[in-house]
Amino acid sequence: MAEKNGFGQLVGQVGGRSVWQVLVLYMGASWGVLEVVDVLKDNMGLPDWVFPFAVVLLLIGLPIMLGTAVIQARFAARAGGAAEPATSGDPLPASASAADEQVGDLAAHHFFTWRRALLGGAAAFVLLTVVTTGFMFMRNRGIGPVGSLVAKGLIDERSELLVADFEAEDDMLGRMAAEALRVDLSQSDIVRLVSPRTVEGALTRMQLPQGARLDEETAREIAEREGLSAVVGGEILSAGGSHVITAHLVTPAGDLLANARTTAADSSRIIGAIDEISRDLREQIGESYTSMRKSPALAQVSTSSLEALRKYTEAGVQRDEGNLDGAIALLEQAIEVDSTFAMAYRGLGIFLQNKFEDWSRQYWAYSKAYQYRDRLTEREKWAVAATYHLVVEDDPAAGIVAYENLFQIDPEAASAVNNIGVVYYFQRNWEKALEYYGRAHDMQPRGLTAANVGVVHANLGNLDEAAVWIDSARVLEPNAPDWLSWQVAFEQLRGDPAGARRLNTELRQSESADLYWETWTHTADWLLDAREGKVASGDAALAAAIDAAERRDSPAALDVNVLRALLDLSLGNPEGAVRRIETALERYPLDSIAPLDRPTAGLVSVLAGAGAVDEAREILATQRAELGPLADRARLGFESADASIAVAEGRYVDALPALRDADWGYGCQPCADHAVGRAFDLSGQPDSAAVYYEKYLTPAFNFRMWVDGVWKGWTMERLGQLYDEMGDLEQAAGYYGLFAELWADADPELQPRVRAARARMEEIARERG
């Protein structure tokens, strides 16, 4: 009864009002209703059509409400007018037409009542509720044409999808459309995209070239081989400037699961059309409407420029074909077209980092990516933040937090877990690095994760285990040059220089078109020769490395000269070391190299070790002034450079703390151990020197080839001399023997040192009987 009275009161409040008052009330009520519908749509994950449905119902209701107001007001006025007297004489009888009009008004009055109008409005929104509830029930239960693929059991939640290149007259346009679709689908929380590494490995096993066009047939074959759920294919038909874009989701066997279609009026609208296609597919798969609404538009998380996206896509093709220099050039062109293209900045930073050079440009690229991180997907934002904290800010703790946040968004992000392992690796925390690398490999077996696990085992001295993992990396990704280069270093580590040379030659031949690998392999040849005292043949390889570096205009040319000057020091030729550095600086002036890319710490170490302390101090001071706060970056090694000067000046105690951390920012434990040993040696503490020299020789650290080429023979010889001086003849003879064996085929001018070691070893044997 209370409800009836309440409804009656509502009818009473509306009735009797003018048309304009009803219009104002209706507009206000409509605004409130639409606000409620919008909130419910967002909070309950309802489809987008609910809101326009409500708008249509309100528009239909508007003339009904206004008509009711007019009719009710007219009837009330007529009823009131009949009671009024005539102006003179007797009342006039009503005409027949007037009577008919009164009958019509009476009928309209009884039909268009406020009660019926309000109940009709309520019924309309009950209809909206029923339709929406029915739609959501059918969608979530997989019933009928609106049922989602996940609900129907045709595809599992979080399944991996492979996006094939679209068919198009312009091949690059087809690749670009696929790349754009990948970006948008990567925002989905109901499916995952296959990683590029998985595709690369599958193409290798299928004996197809990297960078080959991934047409739908090939994609379906990969899906069949890798056990993937579905493949997304598509087509772009261009005519008269417009583009009809279609996409479809199929099983590996080719059964159609879903399709979408839209038209772009011109090429500038293609990115928006791909966004529309993606959201249509995501809806059919079964992603919640709330999740889709949270995803920014494709142009906001990539680029609004078709030309920039084309360059970005072409860069990916060049990378897949092994042409990193070409990929870098294309990304720089993409950035010129769209200076806010965060994905291009991030890609540029990654490609440069993979080449272990051009830190200045890495720093710039990652800084720009971080600046425009709002133009990235949520997942990419945290990836960029992590890299920014690690590379630019030199803040490992913040980097780990960013990767953990990424992992919270995407619990299957093996890359985030792997990269946390990288942070621990550079901190020389091998156990934690192994833990995270292992987790990443369990989540997603890849050549990268297998190689990382193998390298940590090598650093821990587990050489047999390391060999299994590094071999596994090459099986997973046999055409990846990085793992082959790591294996070159590993073979040297476990005492197989012939195997290292063979693999190095294989690497140079397989990557003959890449000047980076030409520089790397010739440098490796030099290091392998120098380690055995074969300086002359090594110098020929060194000249080839410098030539390759110069042809690609790389600061590596100066880096290699610094390494060679270090060898001069170890061979007892400090004057030659200084001359080599001075000649190199004339050819490659420091001001021609970006400040962050200058081998300052190496230059200072050589000059200080050779006695040119003033020159070393001047270079270091100039660099510090130029870099400002950036000079504190551990990767630059300025603290170890200070320590080198302190050692040269006899301030050994001052030098030791920095030397213990002198790993050159890459976790090079042997580098630090050898530096500490040298400081103790020069300070007249042979026992402590011997301890650290022996730690240096311990078979750990996969990349010790870079320090062994300069110091291994020298260290063995020096340990023999130190133990000889301390009276431990057994140890002395052992190290003399190791040195003589390592340098058995050394250059003729070095043979006197070999003969002296053998002679002393034989003398010790005679003395000991």
Measured distance CA(270)–CA(304) in Å, rounded = 9
Measured distance CA(616)–CA(612) in Å, rounded = 6
Domains 152-301 and 671-769 alike in fold: no
**C-beta separation of 648 from 637 below 8 A:** no
Burial (CB < 10 A; 0-12, 13-18, 19+), residue 185, is buried
pLDDT tens column, 599-632: 999 999 999 999 999 999 999 999 999 998 888 8
- Structure confidence at residue 86 (pLDDT): 38
Domain ranges, ordered by start, for the chain: 2-77+106-141, 152-301, 306-408, 671-769
357: left (phi over 0), alpha (psi -120 to 50) or beta: beta
What residues does 256 pair with on adjacent strands?
250
Q: Which fold has domain 306-408?
A: 1.25.40
pLDDT at 369 over 60: yes
Q: Which long-range contacts (CB under 8 A, 24 or more apart) does 754-759 make?
A: 754/533, 757/717, 757/720
- Structure confidence at residue 518 (pLDDT): 94
Which pTM does this prediction carry?
A: 0.76
CATH class of 152-301: alpha beta
Q: State the DSSP code for 631.
A: G
Of 73-82, 394-403, 465-474, 703-712, the least confident: 73-82
pLDDT at 227 over 50: yes
Q: What string of DSSP letters covers 663-724?
A: STTTT-HHHHHHHHHHHHHHTT-HHHHHHHHHHHHSS--TTTHHHHHHHHHHHHHHHHHHHH
Of 74-78, 227-231, 653-657, 689-693, the least confident: 74-78
Token representation of residue 689: 């020197």
pLDDT tens column, 20-30: 777 777 788 88
- Structure confidence at residue 200 (pLDDT): 76
**C-beta separation of 608 from 679 below 8 A:** no
Mean pLDDT score, 209-225: 86
Residue with tokens 């002034």: 625
Kind plus residue range of the DSSP H or E element containing 414: helix 414-426
Q: What string of DSSP letters covers 596-624?
A: GGS-HHHHHHHHHHTT-HHHHHHHHHHHH
When pLDDT is cut at 50, 70 and 90, the band that residue 715 belongs to is: very high
Mean pLDDT score, 368-373: 95
- Structure confidence at residue 724 (pLDDT): 96
Most confident option among 95-99, 417-421, 480-484:
417-421
pLDDT at 237 over 70: yes
**C-beta separation of 481 from 321 below 8 A:** no
- For 233-256, letters b (16+ CB in 10 Å) and e give bbbbebeeeebebbbbbbbbeeee
Q: State the DSSP code for 164.
A: P
Cβ neighbours, 10 Å, residue 1: 5
Residues of the chain with pLDDT > 90, as a percent, come to: 51
Q: Name which residue leads in pLDDT, 243 or 212.
A: 243
Token representation of residue 259: 């399709």
- Structure confidence at residue 108 (pLDDT): 55
**C-beta separation of 355 from 388 below 8 A:** no
Burial (CB < 10 A; 0-12, 13-18, 19+), residue 406, is buried
User: Nearest to residue 377, comparing CAs of 303, 295, 308, 290?
Assistant: 295
Burial (CB < 10 A; 0-12, 13-18, 19+), residue 763, is middle
Measured distance CA(671)–CA(673) in Å, rounded = 6
Measured distance CA(463)–CA(456) in Å, rounded = 10
- Structure confidence at residue 750 (pLDDT): 97
pLDDT tens column, 74-128: 666 665 543 334 344 444 444 545 444 555 555 555 666 767 777 877 888 888 8
Q: Name which residue leads in pLDDT, 587 or 139.
A: 587
Type of residue found at 315: A
pLDDT at 762 over 90: yes
Mean pLDDT score, 237-253: 91
Of 328-332, 539-543, 701-705, 722-726, the least confident: 701-705
pLDDT at 400 over 60: yes
What residues does 193 pair with on adjacent strands?
161
- Structure confidence at residue 105 (pLDDT): 54
The whole-chain average pLDDT of the chain stands at: 87
- Structure confidence at residue 16 (pLDDT): 58
pLDDT at 18 over 50: yes
Measured distance CA(94)–CA(475) in Å, rounded = 105
Widest distance between CA atoms in the chain: 161
Scanning 216-297, the segments in alpha helix (DSSP H) are: 216-226, 270-285, 289-294
Of 176-180, 237-241, 709-713, 734-738, the least confident: 237-241
pLDDT tens column, 190-207: 888 887 777 877 887 787
Q: Name which residue leads in pLDDT, 767 or 163.
A: 163
- Structure confidence at residue 481 (pLDDT): 87
Q: Name which residue leads in pLDDT, 320 or 89.
A: 320
Into which CATH architecture does domain 671-769 fall? Alpha Horseshoe (1.25)
